[in-house]
Amino acid sequence: MRVRLSLMLALATPFVLHAAVAQGIPDVPGATQSQRPTTIYPIANHLPDLSFSLNASEGKTLTEQAVKGKVVMLFFGYASCPDICPTTMAQLSEVMQQLGPKAKEAQILFISVDPHRDTPEVLQAYVNAFNNGAIGLTGSEQQIASVARRYRVAYQISKPKDASNPEAYEVMHGRGIYIFDKDGRARYLASDSETPEQVTEKIRTLL
């Protein structure tokens, strides 16, 4: 159990430069997609239940009650991320497609760690490009930091390299996908390099 928890924390907390490319899991000769090595770890009783109060588009404030009764896939990132975030959102969108009719019982939540540039409208437009049912959430620096600490998510916003362009800065953030069951309990932590098939398989066990 100690080794498993260490692996979980390793996924949850490392920094990644926004220009880094997500590494794929190497293929295993003769293995199908669902048989490839998995990096999805059980985290029941290791992290707290889903809880947040953040800003969504159209002036709405959402809490965990808005997704009660659904299996939630939660990811922390930002809209101008060039590689990690779009790759992960594309994976989660594929998971929703693979769930078919059951997708109505699942929910993608994308929490921005870049509240200075990601307004609720900008963020929602971003997630809509991948999945129309996904929800983008942002808030004040304090609100984001509070939720990130709750799930041991590391992130850092660097200072602008050019003082004349304060919007040009890098963001580093954790890469884990947090999966909560219909009661809001933390159940799995997946690597962003996991296959949609493996994630779908775990989601189905919670539906």
Over residues 60-101, the pLDDT tens digits come to 999 999 999 999 999 999 999 988 899 999 999 999 999 999
Higher pLDDT, 118 or 3: 118
How far apart, in whole angstroms, are the C-alpha atoms of residue 78 and residue 118? 7
Burial of 22 (0-12, 13-18, 19+ CB in 10 A): middle
- Binning pLDDT at 50, 70 and 90, where does residue 165 land? low
Q: What is the mean pLDDT of residues 136-148?
A: 95
Give pLDDT, residue 169: 66
- Binning pLDDT at 50, 70 and 90, where does residue 158 land? confident
- Binning pLDDT at 50, 70 and 90, where does residue 129 land? very high
pTM above 0.85, yes or no: no
Residue 135 backbone phi and psi in degrees, to 5 = -120, 125
Give pLDDT, residue 166: 65
Give pLDDT, residue 139: 96
| 147-159: b (≥16 Cβ within 10 Å) or e | bbeebbbbbebee
Out of 22-26, 33-37, 134-138, least confident range: 22-26
- On the question of pLDDT at 7 being above 50, the answer is no
Q: What is the mean pLDDT of residues 143-158?
A: 90
